[in-house]
């Protein structure tokens, strides 16, 4: 079995050789040996070789939920992902067969996507290809572990270069910098870390820097970066991934029996039952969850929460699967599956309250467990035994050195959603509304989606009702505008309900793409644009269109009632609009559906621009009559049928 320790030992000779043959000679050639006396030089050799060996070991493996507690070589289970540009009207795609290609094309690159799309796996693939195929040396940092000091200071400290105040050495040597998981930084620390990343990026403008994150409005500060998202897996890629997992499972020589059976069943479901299982298979995380849970129980879940539920059940019983029927091995904590899940729910919500904390020292984890269990009656256990179960018997946590962390952020979010929907009871509706009204998509998007799966009735009468009431008021404001037709009103009311919009067009003939810091009169007000789209007719289009939880709520409704929403083809039944009246080089801002700096007659043109970039802007457009019907149904019976069942029962 692969271990990080053994891989570090294997990488040590390579790291030491690299330091001796490339880095130390560079120090002498560049004149830095003055700062590094013999003792300091030995320290640099030791720290840097240790760091490079650890980075190579860490990035060559992955701890996938398909193989709990088992490290797998990333190249053995990597299905090439495709990056899709967020900064171009063209469909600019980069299929990452080899990660080093990105370093040749982009200096600063930001990969932004939702939970489970494979951002961290992709970054590790890029790092390992950088080591094996380029002259660059990677500096790989998981941002949740970043210390409270400037990034360059921390890097120099890691390498024993503290005595060199200048950053010239870091800039001149071919380092490439990789920062993983802005979204995994605790929310109270995120703003400061992004500011430090921005400062580092500005100083190291000629260095290669790649960052990953879930969508987050605060990323606007990193406007010098090329922005990409990960394209959803195509069906054949999902099947390839299932086969890779099967080939790398413990049943060597099984001729891919499990994956063949699973793929055949998926095809049957698609053709016979008309179930949209394909939506789940577009996400690498759910493919891995499906593979692992199917090994335990050959049933394909039909909802997102059921994926996690089945995986947790499999994890809880993973050591008992080869035993005789009915045998259940007692966990060290002595807890059964129900008690264990109750503690995980409370621990997950505790983490959410602590600004999304994912990582602990042992003493911090023990403190958290004592705090969540102090007011819990009827369940007795020892925290250290529960921690051991979390790592070994029911591996929803991973131990890395002296630190303990959730094996995947989405697992924490699942148990947090279960806490809200199962444990909270009479305060559930108000808590769901508080989450919705926070509009914190990074913190709550996945949790809200899971809550809607676990308890749709509570979601329906609280969040969905509030969202549709707000939308109704917003639509009525749009109705006052008589200069646009009905379909434009419906599209515009959706677009502007989800987010305020900032937009500017610049003619190619007047644009200089090399200095894209916009010469705006009121720079503080407009700051920077979230996206720069190139290629809409004769224009470069700059757009800020923030994601929001309102958008998430409409997406949830569309998953359940697709017929309530316009299809994409419906948008293009609109008459074509020539860009003739929109002013150039003026920032047009829309707040609550009302345009600033522009006449309402420009709305059809603005719609044309926004719909042009549908591959990056997710805009579900509901038919207003359908929204009215859903809201009327909720108001008529917010219990979703429960009150009717209770009638006459005493």
- At 10, which CATH number? 3.40.50.300
> Do 240 and 225 belong together in one domain?
no
In a domain, 578, yes or no: yes
Interval 154-206: pLDDT, tens: 999 999 888 888 898 899 999 999 999 998 898 888 889 999 999 999 999 99
Between CA 365 and CA 384 the distance in angstroms is: 9
Average pLDDT (455-463) is: 96
pLDDT at 457 over 60: yes
In a domain, 357, yes or no: no
In a domain, 338, yes or no: no
Give residue 148's pLDDT band: very low, low, confident or very high (50, 70, 90): confident
Give the per-residue pLDDT at 196: 94
Between CA 81 and CA 100 the distance in angstroms is: 14
Residue 214 near residue 115, CB atoms below 8 Å = yes
486 C-beta neighbours (distance < 10 Å), count: 9
User: Among 83-97, 179-193, 464-478, whose mean pLDDT is lowest?
Assistant: 83-97
- 186: domain range? 4-230
In a domain, 147, yes or no: yes
In a domain, 510, yes or no: yes
> Do 521 and 610 belong together in one domain?
yes
> Do 13 and 149 belong together in one domain?
yes
- 267, 302, 337 - which closes a domain: 302
In a domain, 289, yes or no: yes
- 177, 205, 230 - which closes a domain: 230
161 C-beta neighbours (distance < 10 Å), count: 24
Between CA 363 and CA 553 the distance in angstroms is: 39
Residue 53 near residue 4, CB atoms below 8 Å = no
> Do 93 and 149 belong together in one domain?
yes
Interval 607-648: pLDDT, tens: 888 877 766 677 889 999 999 999 999 999 999 988 888 888
Between CA 389 and CA 400 the distance in angstroms is: 16
In a domain, 142, yes or no: yes
This model's pTM is above 0.95: no
Interval 282-315: pLDDT, tens: 999 999 999 998 988 898 888 889 989 999 999 9
> Do 162 and 278 belong together in one domain?
no
Between CA 529 and CA 586 the distance in angstroms is: 13
Q: Which helix (H) or strand (E) holds 13?
A: helix 4-18
Interval 381-407: pLDDT, tens: 999 999 999 998 899 999 888 899 999
∠333-334-338 over CA atoms, to 5°? 100
Interval 3-36: pLDDT, tens: 888 999 999 999 999 999 988 888 888 777 766 7
What are the tokens at 12? 């040590």
> Do 27 and 127 belong together in one domain?
yes
In a domain, 295, yes or no: yes
The structural domain count of the chain equals 3
CA 179 → CA 115, 130, 157, 172, distances in Å?
A: 17, 14, 17, 20
Give the per-residue pLDDT at 523: 41
> Do 489 and 516 belong together in one domain?
yes
> Do 270 and 138 belong together in one domain?
no
> Do 88 and 214 belong together in one domain?
yes
- 181, 211, 230 - which closes a domain: 230
* Cβ density class 85-113: b for 16+ within 10 Å, e for less: bbbbbeebebebeebbbbbeebbbbbbbb
The larger pLDDT score, comparing residue 63 to residue 57, is at 57
CA nearest to 548, candidates 445, 647, 399, 435: 445
> Do 225 and 90 belong together in one domain?
yes
> Do 161 and 297 belong together in one domain?
no
CA nearest to 119, candidates 230, 235, 241, 238: 230
Give the per-residue pLDDT at 503: 86
Residue 464 near residue 472, CB atoms below 8 Å = no
> Do 116 and 239 belong together in one domain?
no
Average pLDDT (558-574) is: 81
């Amino acid at each position: 079995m692969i271990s990080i320790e053994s891989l570090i030992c294997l990488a040590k000779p390579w790291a030491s050789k690299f330091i001796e043959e490339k880095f130390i000679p560079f120090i002498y050639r560049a004149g830095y040996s003055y700062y590094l006396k013999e003792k300091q030089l030995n320290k640099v050799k030791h720290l840097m070789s240790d760091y490079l060996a650890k980075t190579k070991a860490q990035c060559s493996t992955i701890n996938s939920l398909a193989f709990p507690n088992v490290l797998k070589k990333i190249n053995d289970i990597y299905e090439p992902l495709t990056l899709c540009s967020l900064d171009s009207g063209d469909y600019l795609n980069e299929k990452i067969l080899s990660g080093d290609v990105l370093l040749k094309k982009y200096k600063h690159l930001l990969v932004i996507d939702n939970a489970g799309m494979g951002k961290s796996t992709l970054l590790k693939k890029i790092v390992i290809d950088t080591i094996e195929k380029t002259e660059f040396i990677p500096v790989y940092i998981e941002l949740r572990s970043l210390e409270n000091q400037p990034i360059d200071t921390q890097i120099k400290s890691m390498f024993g270069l503290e005595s060199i105040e200048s950053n010239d050495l870091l800039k001149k040597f071919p380092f490439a910098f990789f920062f993983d998981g802005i979204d995994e930084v605790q929310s109270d620390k995120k703003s400061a870390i992004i500011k430090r990343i921005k400062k580092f990026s500005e100083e190291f403008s000629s260095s290669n820097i790649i960052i990953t994150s879930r969508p987050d409005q605060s990323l606007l500060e990193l406007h010098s970066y090329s922005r990409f998202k990960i394209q959803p897996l195509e069906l054949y890629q999902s099947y390839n991934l299932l086969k890779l997992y099967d080939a790398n499972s413990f049943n060597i020589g099984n001729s891919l029996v499990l994956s063949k059976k699973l793929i055949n069943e998926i095809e049957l479901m698609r053709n016979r039952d008309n179930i949209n299982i394909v939506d789940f298979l577009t996400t690498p995380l759910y493919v891995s969850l499906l593979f692992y849970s199917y090994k335990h129980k050959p049933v394909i879940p039909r909802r997102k929460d059921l994926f996690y539920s089945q995986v947790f059940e499999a994890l809880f019983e993973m050591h008992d699967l080869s035993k005789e029927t009915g045998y259940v091995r007692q966990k060290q904590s002595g807890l059964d599956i129900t008690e264990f899940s109750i503690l995980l729910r409370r621990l997950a919500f505790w983490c959410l309250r602590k600004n999304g904390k994912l990582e602990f020292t042992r003493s911090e984890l023990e403190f958290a467990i004592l705090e969540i269990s102090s007011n819990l009656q009827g369940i007795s256990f020892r925290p250290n035994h529960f921690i051991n179960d979390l790592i070994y018997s029911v591996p929803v946590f991973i131990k890395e050195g002296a630190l303990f962390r959730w094996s995947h952020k989405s697992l924490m979010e699942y148990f947090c959603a279960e806490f809200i929907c199962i444990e909270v009871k009479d305060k559930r509706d108000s808590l769901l509304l508080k989450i919705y009204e926070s509009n914190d998509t990074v913190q709550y998007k996945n949790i809200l989606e899971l809550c809607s799966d676990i308890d749709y009735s509570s979601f329906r009468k609280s969040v969905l009702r509030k969202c549709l009431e707000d939308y109704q008021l917003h639509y009525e404001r749009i109705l006052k505008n008589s200069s646009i037709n009905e379909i434009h009103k419906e599209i515009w009311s959706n677009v502007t309900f989800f987010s305020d919009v900032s937009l500017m067009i610049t003619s190619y003939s007047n644009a200089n793409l090399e200095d894209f810091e916009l010469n705006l009169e009121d720079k503080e007000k407009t700051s920077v644009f979230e996206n720069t789209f190139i290629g809409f007719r004769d224009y470069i289009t700059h757009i800020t269109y923030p994601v929001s939880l309102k958008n998430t709520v409409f997406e949830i409704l569309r998953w359940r009632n697709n017929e309530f929403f316009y299809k994409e083809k419906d948008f293009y039944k609109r008459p074509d609009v020539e860009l003739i009246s929109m002013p150039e080089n003026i920032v047009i801002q829309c707040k609550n559906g009302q345009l600033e700096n522009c006449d309402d007659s420009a709305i059809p043109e603005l719609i044309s621009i926004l719909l042009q970039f549908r591959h990056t802007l997710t805009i579900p457009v509901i038919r207003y009559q359908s929204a009215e019907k859903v809201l009327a149904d909720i108001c008529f019976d917010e219990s979703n049928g429960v009150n009717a069942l209770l009638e006459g029962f005493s």
